[in-house]
Every structure is written in C-alpha cells, then in structure tokens.
Amino acid sequence: MKEGLKKIIIVIIIILCITGVIMYFIQSSKKNSKTENIEYEPQEEISEEQERQTMISLYFLNKNTRKVEPEARLIDVKELMKDPYTVIINLLIDGPKNDNHESSIPNGTMLIGASLEGDMLKINFSSEFVTNHVGGKDEENNTINCIVNTVTELTEVNSVKILINGEANLKFNDGEVEFSQNFIRSEWQEVSFLFEHSEKFTQNRNFLGTAKKIFYTIQRI
C-alpha cells in the first residue's frame, strides 16, 4: 500500500514538472513573438537650432505683489549674438508669458537704439516711455528696475542710462524719477524675492531628495 502511494506521488511530481517546463516554453515563445512584432520608432533628432539655445532672465512685475520678479526665457543663441541688447530689450517690451506677470514698460514704447559704452548701456526709448507711463514713484522705480535687472544679466553691463528720443536729462511726467543718473542693479529686490519663496524652495528641494531616493531604489531592483 505504501509502495503504491509513493509511486502515485512520484508520478504526480513528474507530471507537475513536465507541465511546468511546457508552460515555461509556451510563455517564452509568446514573449519572443511579441518582441519580434514590436516596431521601434527612432527618437526625434535634436536639431542644430535646438542645441544652440540659451536661457535668459527677463524681469517683470508680479500682478499681485507689484514686485519685480525674473521670468526664464529660452532664446536662440544666433539671434542673441546678432544684437543682444536690442533682442533682450524688445523681448522685455513684448511682455511676459507668465500669466502672473505684467510688463512695466508703457504701451506704445519703442526701442530706438541701445549701445554699450564701457560697462554702461545706453538705451534710447521713444517718447511713449514717458508720456504713457502710469506714474507714481513706486511704479516708475519698478519700470527702471525691470529694465536694469534684465540687461545687467549680461556680464559686460553694470549700469544703464535712459534716453528719450536721444535726450539724456529727462524724467517721468511727475518728476519722481529723473534720467540724469546712471541706474544700477537693484539687488535687494532679488534677495526679497528669494526670501519670500524660500519655504517653497525648501519643499521642492525635499521633494527632489525623496524622488532621488525612489529613483536609486528602483535602479537597484
């Protein structure tokens, strides 16, 4: 009786092993057939134009806080090299792409010209820069800071001189800000912006740290 039971168990084990081997080969053949049927599309090649792009910062006003904030913009290097001052200032005049930002440069303002003298950039605007400005010391300073902070992103520019139709010693209509001076970068506004966003930055940094841990864990599996 015991011998017969042993034989039955052995037969069952052999059948299970054979069945397992057969199923393995069936699954393997299915995977191979699926792999053979997959058509791999080549990745889109990065064009020479895409490779020659650089990131710049343009400064606009936050609609809610009325503070000057940077906005990143991707631009073609070839276009930038032709006339960097004209290109950047015209982008500033065109306005922001971020819905939370607005341009501080008055409507209708046109750039007549821009030229570098030493480390000072002379910017010649049309009369609309003055006549169409909303006025008020804070708004006038914001306009100047948006311009100066944008162009001084270029390392060769340390100060800015504002001209109106080629005239130097003019001012905004209410006389709060005069153009007789050379304007320098307003660093305190950038420090204020970073301080106000420090909590969000810390949260993002913690999130990135967690994401990295997850990524490296997956890599080890």
Residue-wise pLDDT for 47-74, tens only, equals 565 567 888 999 999 999 999 999 999 9
pLDDT in the model for residue 193: 43
Distance from C-alpha of 111 to C-alpha of 86, rounded to nearest angstrom? 8
Q: Decide if pLDDT at 195 tops 60.
A: no
pLDDT-based confidence at residue 79 (cuts at 50, 70, 90): confident
72 forms beta bridges with 57
pLDDT in the model for residue 188: 44
Q: Decide if pLDDT at 4 tops 60.
A: yes
Distance from C-alpha of 203 to C-alpha of 218, rounded to nearest angstrom? 23
pLDDT-based confidence at residue 146 (cuts at 50, 70, 90): very high
* 16 vs 98, more confident: 98
Q: Under DSSP, is residue 174 helix (H, G, I), strand (E, B) or coil?
A: coil
pLDDT in the model for residue 48: 60
* 31 vs 135, more confident: 135
Q: What is the DSSP letter of 170?
A: -
In contact, 103 and 116? CB cutoff 8 Å = no
pLDDT in the model for residue 213: 43
Q: State how far the alpha carbon of 162 is from the alpha carbons of 52, 146, 165, 215, in Å.
A: 31, 13, 10, 51
How confident is the model over 165-188, as a mean pLDDT? 84
Q: Decide if pLDDT at 106 tops 80.
A: yes
Domain range annotation of the chain: 50-198
pLDDT-based confidence at residue 7 (cuts at 50, 70, 90): low
